[in-house]
Amino acid sequence: MFFVESSVMRDDQNNACHGTGKVADIANIADLSLCHDAASSHQYSDSEIQGVYRAIRERRDMRHFQTRPVDPQQLLRFIEAAHQAPSVGYMQPWRFIRIVNKELRQRLYEHVNEERILTSEALGKRSDEFMQLKVEGILSCAEVLVVGLVDKRENYIFGRRTMPEMDLASASCAIQNFWLAARAEGVGVGWVSMFDPAQIRSLCNMPEGSQPIALLCVGHVEAFYPAPMLEMEGWDKRRLLSDIVFEDSWGNGKESVNDIVGKSRLKSELPE
């Protein structure tokens, strides 16, 4: 009953939002203006809140780009947004390499293409289907950035003693910030991870122990896909909230989540 209790608490504290299905609405990342009167003093304005949720909802992994350039100041803003991400022990493990050399970009593309073929072979039954998908836009986008984890990460113990991969989690937060900032400014980003890290490390002269984790394709787009491209192409679809949220035990609580989602007056407004 975690969700329902939270909802009641808000009601008690704020004396508002009663019976609006507010918590379910939050879960649906939908219209938050319902709770205007209940605003916490720390809350942003309605339109700012809407903007945050809109960027989250409408961010897409893009693979089709226009060739016109991205303003370097704008690119730097996205990187600054990335650099404000949370990081384990505040280690800020991310580094960004802007690819300006055309031949280098071509070699990155060729390597990703080789890896794409190896991926398709590894996929077995879905190999042909996979080969129909567009999985990168490296040559057509305005900017390519290689994002890497720093070397000597073993020196950072805080928050990583049992889970060293929290450095990757931190850098992923940074990339998400970049992605959302770019989406808000109308610029597309695609995360390409189909590569052998050793090859990218070598191509970009990255130090031993560092780890490339993303090739980011950045550029203006004709239009943002209305839904994840892999969904539009029938590769997979988004799981239901009730399949991913549990209560107390793994797999438990489906009914109460469904109950809340069912009460949401905005459910029908959401894209299928």
Applying CB under 6 A, which residues contact ligand FMN?
Answer: 60-61, 63, 135-136, 191-194, 228, 230
Nearest distance in Å: CB 242, ligand FMN: 20
Closest-CA residue to 265 (of 25, 5, 17, 29)? 25
State in angstroms the smallest separation of the CB of 34 from ligand FMN.
26
Q: Give SS3 for 99.
A: strand
CB of 230 to ligand FMN, least distance (A): 4
Residue with Cβ nearer ligand FMN (60 or 160) = 60
Six-digit token string for 195: 């590569």
**CB nearer ligand FMN, residue 18 or residue 237:** 237
Q: Which is nearer to ligand FMN, 17 or 99 (CB)?
A: 99
Nearer to ligand FMN, 10 or 63 (CB): 63
Q: Quick one: which H or E segment has residue 147?
A: strand 143-149
Residue number with CB closer to ligand FMN (96 or 191): 191
Surface-to-core class of residue 226, CB atoms within 10 Å of its CB (0-12 exposed, 13-18 middle, 19+ buried): exposed
**Beta strands 94-99; 188-192: pairing state:** unpaired
Q: How far is the CB of 30 from ligand FMN (least distance, A)?
A: 17
Instruction: Give the shortest CB-25-to-ligand FMN separation in angstroms.
Output: 21
The residue number with the shortest CB distance to ligand FMN is 228
Beta bridge partners of 245: none
Count the alpha carbons within 13 Å of 194 in the hemisphere toward its beta carbon. Answer: 21
